[in-house]
Amino acid sequence: MFPIIPANVAEEAGNQEGIFAFGTTGGVTFYNVSNLVSNTGVWGSDVAGVGTARYGLAACEYGGDKGIFGFGYDVTNLVVSMTNLVSNTGVVASDVAGVGTDRNSLGACHYGGDKGIFGFGYNHPPGNLSMTSLVSNTGVVSSDVAGAGGTARRQIVGTQYGGDKGIFGYGYISSESSITNLVSNTGVVASDQAATTGTARAALGACSYGEDKGIFGFGAYPFTGVTNLISNTGVVASDAAAVGTGRYKPGACEYGGDKGIFGFGKNGAYNICNLVSNTGVVASDTTGVGTGRWNIDGCSFA
């Protein structure tokens, strides 16, 4: 008789592949292309996009093996709330009309084993936001949860930790910050953690690694390549010295079940990447393929 495998085993082991998508090279040049990351960390060339080209969006996993990109700023100079689902084979779907407040420069992370959350961001008016929108395990985005916890800010980032919880970190208030906010396994965002360590910065990247831990990395201003590890209890470590090129708004995602990758970013417009081992060690720059761009995001799938 075959043993019964719990439904969350695959999730605990982590997704095998990743995807970067959307972004800009500045001005009015926006993209909807994507780049897949293999289970060995090999970064693929551009895949022609569907959906509205935009930047300043966020992405996370949902459903155990799929992903979602959402919100952002499009070429018509509009902040949007649309989303694009990513299948478990890495195919990005066309736009799904958004619910809730249009915004950009937000973060997103996975929680609860098979759900996601978008949080914080910017729209004008009213400016910086602290609202969230939950993503169900079928990829349905809920309406706004207003004042969901934590200081309103933009250019924030999120990632999962502890297997079923998440964390939002850093961002811009009226200057760069080092605030973090934990997300419970039911999607509740906690108030600011007062004693966060690490260099205050905005427009960084984040991903999970090691099956139950996370990492914040890079950001601005000034451009930096420092990273901060997140333990499986949500504790953020002090800065680890930079090994890669300091840059603004790279994307990041998990791959290979327990490893991560930072890719793209602005200090110029780069298509470099930095792999993250399953112990949180960040490798030096590797030249990528595809269109160098920034203000993108990434998530894992499969």
User: CA 253 to CA 291: how far, in whole Å?
Assistant: 18
For 252, other C-beta atoms within 10 Å of its C-beta total 34
Please, what's the b/e burial string for 99-118 (b: 16 or more CB within 10 A of its CB; e: otherwise)? Answer: ebbbbbbbbbbbbbbbbbbb
End-to-end CA, the chain: 27
* Beta-sheet strands, E only, within the chain: 17-26, 29-37, 54-55, 58-62, 66-74, 79-86, 107-111, 115-123, 127-135, 157-161, 165-169, 180-183, 205-209, 213-217, 227-230, 251-255, 259-263, 272-276, 286-287, 297-301
Secondary structure class of 12 (helix, strand, coil) = helix
DSSP string, 101-140: ---BS-EEEEETTTEEEEEEEEETTTEEEEEEEEE-TTSP
Q: Are 254 and 12 in contact (CB under 8 A)?
A: no
pLDDT in tens, 6-21: 334 333 468 999 999 9
- pLDDT tens digits, the chain, 302 residues: what are they? 334 433 343 334 689 999 999 999 988 899 999 999 999 999 999 999 899 999 999 999 999 999 999 999 998 888 999 999 999 999 999 999 988 899 999 999 999 999 999 999 999 888 999 999 999 999 999 999 987 778 999 999 999 999 999 999 999 999 999 999 999 999 999 999 976 789 999 999 999 999 999 999 999 999 999 999 999 999 999 999 999 999 999 999 999 999 999 999 999 878 999 999 999 999 999 998 899 999 999 999 99
CA-wise closest residue to 297 among 17, 11, 94, 24: 24
User: CA 111 to CA 185: how far, in whole Å?
Assistant: 5
User: CA 56 to CA 129: how far, in whole Å?
Assistant: 14
Secondary structure class of 10 (helix, strand, coil) = helix
CA-wise closest residue to 45 among 20, 10, 71, 74: 20
What's the pTM?
Answer: 0.94
The pLDDT value recorded for residue 4 is 42
User: Helices then strands (H, E): number in the chain?
Assistant: 1, 20
For 25, other C-beta atoms within 10 Å of its C-beta total 17
User: CA 79 to CA 123: how far, in whole Å?
Assistant: 7
What number does CATH give the domain 19-301?
Answer: 2.120.10.80
User: CA 283 to CA 262: how far, in whole Å?
Assistant: 10
Kindly state the tokens that stand for 177.
């910050």
